[in-house]
A and B are shown apart, each in its own frame.
Chain A
Amino acid sequence: MAQQVDVLRAVQDERYAAQLTPEQWSELSQSPQWQEFVTESPELAAPLIAKYGNQLPGNGGNGGAPAKAAAATFTTIGKRVPRVHGLGIVTGLGRYVQNMRVPGMLFMKTLRSPHPHAKVVKVDTSQAEKLPGVVAILHRGNLPKEYKDYRLGSGPPNRYLFNEEIYEVGAPIAAVAAESDHIADEAIHLIDVQYEVLPAVLDFLEGIKPSTPKQWDNKLDGTILNIEKPLVRGDPDGGMAKAQIVVEVVATRSTEQHMPLETSIAICWWDNDRVTMHYTTQYAHGARNGLAQALGLPQNKVRIIQNGYMGSGYGFRTGVDLQEIHAAILAKLTGRPVRAMATRSEDFIARGHRPQNRNEMKLGVNRDGTIVAGQFKVISNVGAQRGSAASGAWFQMQLGYKIPNLRLEGVDVFTNSFKSGALRCVGHPNGAMAMETLMDKAAYAINMDPLEFRLKSINLDGNPDTKLPFSNPGIVTCMNEAAKAIDWKAKFHAPKAKEVRPGVFHGIGLANVFCSHGGGSSNATGIVIVTSDGNVQVNSGSNEIGDGQRTQMVMIAAETLGIPLARMSITPHIDTDLHPDSGMSAGSVQTNTGGWGTYEAAMDAKRQLLEWGAKKFMDDAKKATPPQTITVKPEELDVVDGNVVFKSDPNKKLTVAQVVQSTTGQIIGRGVHQQPATWQRTAFGTHAAEVEVDTNLGTVKVLKYVAAHDVGRAINPLALEQQIEGGTIMGLGAALNEELLIDKATGVPLNDNILDYKALSIQDVPRKIDIILVEHPREYGVYGAHGIGEPPITPPGATIANAVFNAIGVRVDALPITREKVLAALKAA
């Protein structure tokens, strides 16, 4: 097999990128890892696309002027429409992969390494093979040779299907296929593995030390993977020296987990030379392309079905991982269907999570509230694989506020622990956490209201370094609306100034989000079929992962076609054999990826309806008694409420069914949309919270929460509110409770289960989250809309940290803000 391309290395290493061949660029462009990167981190991919764009499929930024010719009224857009497949979701009876049973299927379980760094000396499966019901065991020793060189992700270190040298707890050692789940589980306990244990780096701050042993031929210190080229603006040192006041914050974020309701699961089987897989993915076509690369098959021999009923994604399953590849190989070897379902622990430790971060932040300000200089350094723990996380946090530091003198630094550090990846965004929650706590501290330091301080320095001019203007204008509206909803002016007070009950203090805080998500990506495609009875099949490749995409697609189709929503139909699932590739459900892009594709397809179908309608009006006139010859041009017609009508006289009409029946069969509209890359796409929002902090128990209770977001245009306000509420709750979990811990001595995870990893329960979230939809429709968005999936998870960390400071007068800038940290901060104060 040809040398595979390291996607992230191409991004991080200029010399590496420069020597890639056209074939390798082509391979890179088809890799789900690349597609995830450009979708989740468009601002980081932009320089590479600018340089090598002629070798890569177009992608990326987009934007536009205020939406012109916005319809005065909509028939469907803006209505609160419940999910089209909601019944299957709320009853649990929808076809989730977990609900599926395939005759003759085997169950796969994976034996995983208990050591963070070791060499696998020997794998003895003889005892496991004797267990009745065990059908096949796959491991490094018997992996068919055609798969031996396949690697997943970017090295160093390389990650093969089964490594000889393993770099993390949870690395796969063997996969067992058996007649039942329990037999497979018992079998993995009967496999005897000899390890040669090697020294591990578990703490990323250890990893950056020169004295730390190298684990590969590393030109950088210890286990540093990448030192980002600093971004410098003006004179950061001179500026800082001139500032009247310098404030510093070290803000940290712990490892966070996705915790989807449905753990990762695949069921797959072979039919001759084709493999079919039902899989919980955010991107059916990406999973197809990834599996095709792993198995050495052309893309059209791999069929992925994304069931649509899926216990969410949150960023960690945009492509295939080792579990799915092992399952496909075991299905081939056994000739039987194989079901591979991750345990909760496996989803926690063997797949990505949001990286752990340390942000060293320094801001120079003058007493009048002017920001003079900023020096920000982000150190990211990307886990046991090359990752790009530190510079992903820069966005808000770079763009949020007017900072004339600026230095941004970033270091990505490898550790022998969980791999990092996207989690409802990657780095922006970290960047916002660091920047917005720093802004708060600076405001208090100069005795200025934190809201006023932000408004004074807010950057409305676009990206000052690339000069790209912002796609959205809504940040000031978001700030003012959020402040109004939380009653900021009346409720803001000096730190620790409001004791509401003995030992319990009231606090209020806010934070902004600047995030590069919510524009569209390439692969914006769609198909719309108008059937001969006048109904509509919307055939979109927009993956439903619980975010309401399929509902949004039929709404866009109905609005665009002029046919009532009730006549639309869409499958919950995506089948790569039947649906067009419309990008991944990640990067908050689907509103403008699937949405634009569906819009263009509906426009195409409508054009055909008008053409056939004009023809039928003319034909009908000829058949009338007496026959008449009239001329009807398509542009004289419109589709209104399911009828093709004359614009001049809506009473002269044909039903859509009549028009379609006059054709040879049905009308098929197809759409492909190119996203222009002329704007700095930006999602804006402001969150505000009121909390009570119990200084005896360290409890932080969120009393009221407000989330204001610029959504461009609210296509489905109900779904938007659900997305914002969900993202906020996840963000509050990270702010208050969530942290994936490892034992510092052994590297073994301590709380890789949902009992000890304490995501919030429904009783722990504020009773009401006030959601404000700020609408500034822009031309780049379908109907002026901007995506919303990720931005709401970003501000809660800083919002809560700032409110806690306001309550108790001491800062806790290390998420999660647990009671032990609150109590310790109070003691230290």
Chain B
Amino acid sequence: MKAFELYDAATVQDAVSMLSKFGPAAKVVAGGSDLVAGVMKDWIHGKGMPYPEKLIDVTTIPEMVGIKLASDSATIGAATTLSAIAESPQMQKGWRVLTDSLFSVASPEIRNLGTLGGNINQRPRCWFFRGEKFSCYKKGGDFCFAVTGDNRYNAIIGGELCYIVHPSDAATALLALNASATIAGTGGTRTVQFDNYFTGPREDVLRENILKPDEVMVNVTIPRLAPNTKTAWTKLKFRQVYDFALVSVAVVATQENGVWKDGRVVLGGVAPVPYRAKVVEQALAGKNIKENAKAAAAAIKTVARPMSANAYKVDVATALIEKTLLDAIA
């Protein structure tokens, strides 16, 4: 790895002003499990992705670490470790779909270091993006190697130009929970719903979210679930420890006597962003979940556009949506 400078930020403002001062070669770091032990170790860089020269540690900002519970929500500092969130009894009680998703991340060692903000904002795992020898769109190159290459794990929905899948389990669960992020930048602080947080390749192929180079994700706020809301999380992996989702599903279903009133079905591992499967939600609206789970899950096929080697993921997603819906109401 190339030598870099490391700065401890004392406050959010401190971090923002350093980012602004140093420019695009500066990056926020927390656990470093992706940025340092992945991107930098493996020299993932290109014209549109400068090799980081300065890292700004945000785990030293007290405001960004910890969980604050309110009557109607929980607010989690972006530099809180995945373990701290997953192991919190209050979080398990109130937002099981999130804590289940976090327990499915990597391994205990990585969860002890990795943070919520880091998990949400990590870079994709596409092996062409991660391969130093492939200059792909996402690094500022002019090709997507997945289109003609081995795309067994790539996107089946929403890919264009670039066919990554969003790697974050936390993001998938948080979108299902209708969470929002607080973002600080030189222009001040703003709150963004996760509905609007992630960006696809058409909007900007060089990044996966709306964070600008001088912005820091400060915290995430999750509303409490409405009464009669059931949730479930499923993550299918090739091995049970230390693996990303082949397909994951987060279901948050508000129901009455088994009938879908409101809720979300969100998929990870299938699209360049955490994918809200509105076709499935619409197919369930006003209907008995158990009786209609299979047919509703099959609706995902109407929006899927698989590539040469990943059609099986459509079948897997279909089966997994049905399973997760049934798990939620079980």
In the bound assembly, the distance between CA atoms of A820 and B145 in angstroms comes to: 21
Binds B, one of A332-340, A635-643, A752-760: A752-760
Q: Chain B residues with Cβ under 8 A from A820's Cβ?
A: 152, 309, 312
In the bound assembly, the distance between CA atoms of A357 and B196 in angstroms comes to: 49
Q: Chain B residues with Cβ under 8 A from A697's Cβ?
A: 236, 316, 319-320
Q: Using CB atoms, name the residue of chain B closest to A737.
A: B238
Closest CB of chain B to A749's CB: distance in Å? 8
Is A764 an interface position by the 8 A CB rule?
Answer: yes
Contact A755 B242 (CB under 8 A): yes
What are the interface flags for B219-260 relative to A under an 8 Å C-beta threshold, 1 for contact and 0 otherwise? 000000000000000001011111110100000000000000
Which range contains the number of B residues in contact with the other chain? 20 to 34
Contacts A743-B150, A745-B145 known; A760 to B2 CB distance under 8 Å? no
Q: Which of A746, A758, A823 contacts B238 (CB 8 A)?
A: A758
Q: Chain A residues with Cβ under 8 A from B127's Cβ?
A: 750-751, 756
Interface size, chain A (Cβ < 8 Å): 34
Q: Chain A residues with Cβ under 8 A from B188's Cβ?
A: none
In the bound assembly, the distance between CA atoms of A547 and B315 in angstroms comes to: 43
Is A529 an interface position by the 8 A CB rule?
Answer: no
Q: Chain A residues with Cβ under 8 A from B236's Cβ?
A: 697, 699
Is A741 an interface position by the 8 A CB rule?
Answer: yes
Q: Which of B149, B239, B316, B320 contacts A761 (CB 8 A)?
A: B239
Q: Chain A residues with Cβ under 8 A from B239's Cβ?
A: 737, 758-761, 763-764
Q: Using CB atoms, name the residue of chain A closest to B145.
A: A743
Q: Which of A696, A744, A745, A761 contacts B315 (CB 8 A)?
A: A696
Q: Which of A182, A741, A745, A756 contacts B148 (CB 8 A)?
A: A745
Is A824 an interface position by the 8 A CB rule?
Answer: yes
Q: Chain A residues with Cβ under 8 A from B43's Cβ?
A: 189
What are the interface flags for A740-780 relative to B under an 8 Å C-beta threshold, 1 for contact and 0 otherwise? 01011110101100011011111110000000000000000
Contacts A748-B131, A819-B316 known; A743 to B149 CB distance under 8 Å? yes
Closest CB of chain A to B110's CB: distance in Å? 11
Closest CB of chain B to A745's CB: distance in Å? 6
Is A185 an interface position by the 8 A CB rule?
Answer: yes
Task: Tell me the A516-531 residues at the B interface (CB within 8 Å).
Answer: none
Q: Which of A114, A185, A189, A819 contacts B312 (CB 8 A)?
A: A819
What are the interface flags for A799-829 relative to B under an 8 Å C-beta threshold, 1 for contact and 0 otherwise? 0000000000000000000111001100000
Closest CB of chain B to A166's CB: distance in Å? 15
Is A698 an interface position by the 8 A CB rule?
Answer: yes
In the bound assembly, the distance between CA atoms of A328 and B43 in angstroms comes to: 28
Is B70 an interface position by the 8 A CB rule?
Answer: no
Q: Chain B residues with Cβ under 8 A from A748's Cβ?
A: 131, 133-134
Q: Chain A residues with Cβ under 8 A from B238's Cβ?
A: 737, 758, 818-819
Q: Chain A residues with Cβ under 8 A from B240's Cβ?
A: 761, 763-764
Q: Which of A503, A741, A761, A764 contacts B150 (CB 8 A)?
A: A741
Is B3 an interface position by the 8 A CB rule?
Answer: yes
Is A186 an interface position by the 8 A CB rule?
Answer: yes
Contact A750 B1 (CB under 8 A): no
Contact A182 B145 (CB under 8 A): no
Q: Chain B residues with Cβ under 8 A from A760's Cβ?
A: 239
Closest CB of chain A to B326's CB: distance in Å? 11
Q: Chain B residues with Cβ under 8 A from A763's Cβ?
A: 239-241
Contacts A741-B150, A743-B150 known; A185 to B1 CB distance under 8 Å? yes
Contacts A755-B242, A824-B312 known; A186 to B134 CB distance under 8 Å? no
In the bound assembly, the distance between CA atoms of A751 and B128 in angstroms comes to: 10
Q: Chain B residues with Cβ under 8 A from A185's Cβ?
A: 1-2
Q: Chain A residues with Cβ under 8 A from B128's Cβ?
A: 743, 750
In the bound assembly, the distance between CA atoms of A745 and B238 in angstroms comes to: 25
In the bound assembly, the distance between CA atoms of A114 and B133 in angstroms comes to: 7
Q: Using CB atoms, name the residue of chain A closest to B131.
A: A748
What are the interface flags for A156-183 relative to B under an 8 Å C-beta threshold, 1 for contact and 0 otherwise? 0000000000000000000000000011
Closest CB of chain B to A486's CB: distance in Å? 24
**Interface residues of chain A: helix, strand, loop or mixed (majority):** loop
Closest CB of chain A to B258's CB: distance in Å? 19
Q: Using CB atoms, name the residue of chain B closest to A818.
A: B238
Contact B150 A750 (CB under 8 A): yes
What are the interface flags for B303-315 relative to A under an 8 Å C-beta threshold, 1 for contact and 0 otherwise? 0000001001001
Contact B243 A746 (CB under 8 A): no
In the bound assembly, the distance between CA atoms of A20 and B270 in angstroms comes to: 60
Q: Chain A residues with Cβ under 8 A from B134's Cβ?
A: 743, 746, 748
What are the interface flags for B189-229 relative to A under an 8 Å C-beta threshold, 1 for contact and 0 otherwise? 00000000000000000000000000000000000000000
Q: Chain A residues with Cβ under 8 A from B246's Cβ?
A: 819
In the bound assembly, the distance between CA atoms of A763 and B241 in angstroms comes to: 7
Contact B3 A186 (CB under 8 A): yes
Q: Chain B residues with Cβ under 8 A from A737's Cβ?
A: 238-239
Q: Chain A residues with Cβ under 8 A from B316's Cβ?
A: 696-698, 819, 823
In the bound assembly, the distance between CA atoms of A300 and B284 in angstroms comes to: 79
What are the interface flags for B1-32 relative to A under an 8 Å C-beta threshold, 1 for contact and 0 otherwise? 11100000000000000000000000000000
In the bound assembly, the distance between CA atoms of A186 and B316 in angstroms comes to: 42
Q: Chain B residues with Cβ under 8 A from A819's Cβ?
A: 238, 246, 312, 316
Interface centre among A183, A745, A750, A823 (most CB of B within 10 A): A750
Q: Chain A residues with Cβ under 8 A from B241's Cβ?
A: 761-764
Q: Chain B residues with Cβ under 8 A from A696's Cβ?
A: 315-316, 319
Task: Tell me the B129-158 residues at the A interface (CB within 8 Å).
Answer: 131, 133-134, 145, 148-150, 152
In the bound assembly, the distance between CA atoms of A698 and B1 in angstroms comes to: 39
Q: Chain B residues with Cβ under 8 A from A750's Cβ?
A: 127-128, 131, 149-150
Q: Using CB atoms, name the residue of chain A closest to B153.
A: A756
Contacts A743-B150, A750-B131, A761-B240 known; A698 to B312 CB distance under 8 Å? yes
Q: Chain A residues with Cβ under 8 A from B319's Cβ?
A: 503, 696-697
Q: Using CB atoms, name the residue of chain A closest to B148.
A: A745
Q: Chain B residues with Cβ under 8 A from A764's Cβ?
A: 239-241
Closest CB of chain B to A666's CB: distance in Å? 49
Contact A186 B2 (CB under 8 A): yes
Closest CB of chain B to A409's CB: distance in Å? 31
Contact B131 A182 (CB under 8 A): no
Closest CB of chain A to B171's CB: distance in Å? 19
Q: Using CB atoms, name the residue of chain B closest to A181.
A: B1
In the bound assembly, the distance between CA atoms of A40 and B320 in angstroms comes to: 45
In the bound assembly, the distance between CA atoms of A755 and B124 in angstroms comes to: 13
Q: Chain B residues with Cβ under 8 A from A741's Cβ?
A: 150
Q: Using CB atoms, name the residue of chain B closest to A183.
A: B3
Closest CB of chain B to A44's CB: distance in Å? 34
Closest CB of chain B to A735's CB: distance in Å? 13
In the bound assembly, the distance between CA atoms of A150 and B14 in angstroms comes to: 58
In the bound assembly, the distance between CA atoms of A72 and B158 in angstroms comes to: 73
Q: Chain A residues with Cβ under 8 A from B131's Cβ?
A: 743, 748, 750
Q: Which of A182, A699, A761 contacts B242 (CB 8 A)?
A: A761
Q: Using CB atoms, name the residue of chain B closest to A746.
A: B133
In the bound assembly, the distance between CA atoms of A287 and B268 in angstroms comes to: 49
Q: Chain A residues with Cβ under 8 A from B133's Cβ?
A: 114, 746, 748
Q: Chain B residues with Cβ under 8 A from A743's Cβ?
A: 128, 131, 134, 145, 149-150
Q: Chain A residues with Cβ under 8 A from B2's Cβ?
A: 182, 185-186, 189
In the bound assembly, the distance between CA atoms of A189 and B246 in angstroms comes to: 33
Q: Using CB atoms, name the residue of chain A closest to B149.
A: A743
Contact B242 A744 (CB under 8 A): no
Q: What would be 17 A-B contacts, judged by CB atoms less than 8 Å apart?
A: A114-B133, A697-B319, A743-B149, A744-B150, A745-B149, A746-B133, A746-B134, A750-B128, A755-B125, A755-B244, A759-B239, A763-B239, A764-B241, A819-B246, A820-B152, A820-B312, A823-B316
* Given A183-B3, A697-B236, A818-B238, 10 more pairs with CB closer than 8 A: A185-B1, A503-B319, A741-B150, A746-B133, A748-B134, A750-B131, A756-B127, A761-B242, A820-B312, A823-B315
B residues at A contact (CB < 8 Å): 1-3, 43, 125, 127-128, 131, 133-134, 145, 148-150, 152, 236, 238-244, 246, 309, 312, 315-316, 319-320
| Pairs of residues from A and B, 8 with the lowest C-beta to C-beta distance, nearest first | A761-B241, A763-B240, A696-B319, A820-B312, A750-B127, A758-B238, A823-B312, A748-B133
